[in-house]
């Protein structure tokens, strides 16, 4: 059915309007406006309805993209929403923050010479409309089951699993050491990419559906892992990765050098109205400062753009490879540049300067040498190219590793990889412990929201099978 489709020949790709950089620098609101209805319809109608839709193949939750684009183009928005939510628990979140240029849109095979369909923005539009129209309702469980599942971590992975398990009737308990639901959706990712009320609405929906949340509750401190296992029929570990990678160069212990997530969390908490002494006393606040962020991933992009909004005097991003080889999304680099961030490509810190507090970074220029076994060119120092960059706040954004979960949970039997991530079977999340599953970043290493959602969904299916089998056995035992 291609009625009203294949319009890529006459219609150009268009994103929702972006607010001006001057306006964006002043607040933490999202930078894209909502699509006007006609524009969403037009953009959806550019899809050529491929027989083998590569967009879908490269979407981690395998969204049925051609179908919901078709329904949107033909004004059947409620059906488009039904199809979209069937494969993704949080489509409006993915529509906002998936790096679409590396996933669905990057794989859109619209005829050569034409730009891809704007998939993410249409996905966001469909679900934002569904919220507005009241089509999204709490789950009504038709058959309550006695079995319960304990989920450690209220990030996107844990929440997707909770949603799926609750729909099947399980008693779902989610434990999180933080005071709010959402994990990095709330405390890592800044509001200009994902406004917090989007996450709050989802959290409320899950609570209204009967999921029980235990906040300010740290497993390993408030309850041991083995006690949690005794309490529930199955347990999911969805604790994410939080050990910040460090820079070991002279001066790295100076005041004014801070880890990225501390900086971002302070900013997000302040935005949420919390009392944040380290923000107020200037430790985790860029106002009036020359800021240098070290790193080239999405976290570094979030730090530079947060610093701009806080009123930094200047913001530089130091990255040891070049623009083409950075891990972060190119779309975010463009946004950062528009907002006034200066990128210092092919540059790495050799030392931090200063007496007690940082006053500068001694940087060295790099060139890209021979590729290593992963295929990436290795950055090599250019001797004699050292130069000083003044700064009074340096932010380290070099990625994250897994904490020592077996030690934290006092469960030495839990199998982990040499990077500390939990070993879990692909497609089920089953660990080596009976009834214990693991999902999201704690299995994959620092990854993406949409992959955590995919894991949560897969593991909910696996647990449903595991617990159904156990119910079957129990019922058979009773009958015999
Ligand atoms: P998390 O979101 O980390 O949630 C884990 C939860 O477990 C936390 O709430 C934590 O408090 C809780 N927890 C941990 N230990 C315990 C314990 N012992 N007891 C109780 N609770 C515990 N991805 C994208 O797709 N797009 C982006 O734009 C993007 N931007 C990012 C920006 C930043 C700054 C960062 C850091 C990450 C970004 N990511 C992005 C990655 C994405 O946020 C993660 O991949 C995703 O959140 C992983 O989900 P998760 O559920 O595995 O873990
Ligand atoms: Fe694209 Fe992410 Fe939506 Fe999949 S979930 S269609 S990758 S924006
Ligand atoms: Fe439509 Fe592009 Fe997907 Fe093809 S690859 S179905 S054109 S969105």
pLDDT in tens, the chain (480 residues): 677 777 787 788 888 889 999 999 999 999 988 887 788 888 888 999 999 999 999 999 999 999 999 999 999 999 999 999 999 999 999 999 999 988 999 999 875 677 899 999 999 999 999 999 999 999 999 999 999 999 999 999 999 999 999 999 999 999 999 999 999 999 999 999 999 999 999 999 999 999 999 999 999 999 999 999 999 999 999 999 999 999 999 999 999 999 999 999 999 999 999 999 999 999 999 999 999 999 999 999 999 999 999 999 999 999 999 999 888 888 899 999 999 999 999 999 999 999 999 999 999 999 999 988 888 889 999 999 999 999 999 999 999 999 999 999 999 999 999 999 999 999 999 999 999 999 999 999 999 999 999 999 999 999 999 999 998 877 777 777
| Topology (CATH level 3) of domain 249-258+272-400 | FAD/NAD(P)-binding domain (3.50.50)
Q: How far is the CA of 107 from the centre of ligand 3 (A)?
A: 8
Work out the number of other CB atoms within 10 angstroms of the CB of residue 386: 13
**H/E stretch holding 387:** strand 387-390
Between CA 67 and CA 45 the distance in angstroms is 11
Q: Where are the domains of the chain?
A: 7-133, 148-241+402-479, 249-258+272-400
Distance (angstroms) between ligand 3 centre and the Cα of 127 equals 19
User: What pLDDT score was predicted for residue 112?
Assistant: 64
Say yes or no: do domains 148-241+402-479 and 249-258+272-400 share a fold: yes
Q: DSSP letters of 58-110?
A: TSTT---HHHHHHHHHTT-HHHHHHHHHHH-S-HHHHHHHS-GGGTTGGG---
Atom of ligand 2 nearest to the CA of 88: 5
292 lines ligand 2 (CB under 6 A): no
Output the CA 232–ligand 2 centroid distance in Å.
33
Q: DSSP assignment of 224-273, as one string?
A: -HHHHHHHSSEEEE-----EE----STTTTSBTEEEHHHHHHHHHHHHTT
Please enumerate in sequence order all residues whose Cβ is within 8 A of that of 38, keeping only pairs 6 or more positions apart, or say none. Answer: none
Q: Is 245 exposed, middle or buried (0-12, 13-18, 19+ CB in 10 A)?
A: middle
What pLDDT score does 479 carry? 78
Q: Name every protein residue with a CB atom under 6 angstroms from any ligand 3 atom.
A: 47-50, 53-55, 65-66, 108-110, 117, 119
pLDDT at site 38: 80
Task: Tell me, in angstroms, the distance from the centre of ligand 1 to residue 183's CA.
Answer: 5
Point out the ligand 3 atom lying closest to the alpha carbon of residue 110: 7
pLDDT of residue 7: 76
Superfamily of domain 148-241+402-479: FAD/NAD(P)-binding domain (3.50.50.60)
Topology of domain 7-133 in CATH is: Fumarate Reductase Iron-sulfur Protein; Chain B, domain 2 (1.10.1060)
The answer to whether 441 and 452 are in contact (CB under 8 A) is yes
Protein residues whose CB sits closer than 6 Å to any atom of ligand 1: 97-98, 152-158, 175-178, 183-184, 188-189, 193, 218-220, 238-240, 261, 264, 298-299, 302, 440-441, 447-450, 452
**Res 111: pLDDT:** 59
Nearest to 345 by CA among 400, 397, 294: 294
Q: State CA 19 to chain mean position distance.
A: 23
pLDDT for position 319: 96
41 CB near ligand 2 (under 6 Å): no
* Closest ligand 2 atom number to CA of residue 58: 7
- What integer pLDDT is reported at residue 336 of this predicted model? 96
Q: How far is the CA of 54 from the centre of ligand 3 (A)?
A: 7
Note the maximum CA span of the chain. 82
Å from CA of 443 to ligand 2 middle: 21
């Amino acid at each position: 059915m291609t009625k009203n489709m294949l319009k890529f020949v006459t219609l150009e790709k268009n994103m929702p309007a972006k607010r001006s950089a001057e306006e964006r620098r002043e607040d933490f609101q999202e930078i894209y406006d909502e699509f006007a209805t006609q524009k969403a319809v037009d953009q959806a109608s550019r899809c050529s309805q491929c027989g083998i839709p590569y967009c879908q193949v490269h979407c981690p939750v395998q969204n049925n993209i051609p179908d919901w684009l078709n329904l949107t183009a033909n004004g059947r928005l409620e059906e488009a929403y039904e199809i979209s939510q069937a494969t993704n628990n949080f489509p409006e979140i993915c529509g906002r923050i998936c790096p679409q240029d590396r996933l669905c849109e990057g794989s859109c095979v619209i005829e050569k010479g034409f730009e891809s369909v704007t998939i993410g923005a249409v996905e966001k539009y469909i679900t934002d409309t569904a919220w507005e129209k009241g089509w999204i309702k709490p789950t009504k469980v038709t058959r309550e089951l006695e079995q319960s599942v304990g989920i450690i971590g209220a990030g996107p992975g844990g929440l997707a699993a909770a949603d799926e398990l609750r729909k099947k009737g399980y008693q779902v308990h989610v434990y999180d050491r933080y005071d709010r639901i959402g994990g990095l959706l709330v405390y890592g990712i800044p509001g200009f990419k994902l406004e917090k009320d989007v996450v709050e609405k989802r959290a409320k929906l899950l609570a209204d559906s009967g999921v029980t949340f235990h906040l300010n509750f740290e497993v390993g401190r408030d309850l041991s892992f083995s006690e949690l296992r005794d309490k529930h029929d199955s347990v999911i570990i969805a604790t994410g990765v939080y050990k910040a990678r460090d820079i070991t160069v002279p001066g790295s212990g100076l005041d004014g050098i801070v880890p990225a997530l501390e900086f971002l969390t302070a900013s997000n908490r302040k935005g949420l109205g919390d009392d944040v002494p380290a923000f107020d006393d200037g430790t985790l606040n860029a106002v009036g400062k020359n800021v240098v962020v070290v790193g080239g991933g999405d976290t570094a992009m979030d730090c530079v753009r947060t610093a701009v909004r806080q009123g930094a005097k200047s913001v530089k991003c130091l990255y040891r490879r070049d623009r083409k080889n950075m891990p972060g999304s190119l779309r975010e680099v463009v946004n950062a540049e528009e907002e006034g961030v200066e990128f210092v490509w092919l540059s790495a810190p050799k030392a931090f300067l200063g007496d007690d507090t940082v006053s500068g970074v001694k940087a060295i220029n790099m060139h890209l040498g021979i590729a290593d076994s992963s295929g990436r060119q290795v950055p090599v120092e250019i001797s004699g190219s050292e130069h000083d960059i003044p700064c009074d706040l340096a932010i380290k954004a070099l990625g994250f590793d897994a904490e020592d979960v077996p030690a934290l949970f006092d469960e030495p039997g839990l199998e982990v990889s040499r990077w500390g991530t939990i070993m879990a079977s692909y497609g089920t999340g089953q660990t080596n412990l009976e009834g214990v599953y693991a999902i999201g970043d704690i299995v994959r290493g620092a990854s993406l929201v949409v992959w955590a959602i995919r894991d949560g969904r897969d593991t909910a299916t696996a647990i449903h099978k595991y617990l159904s089998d156990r119910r079957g056995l129990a019922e058979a035992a009773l009958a015999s």
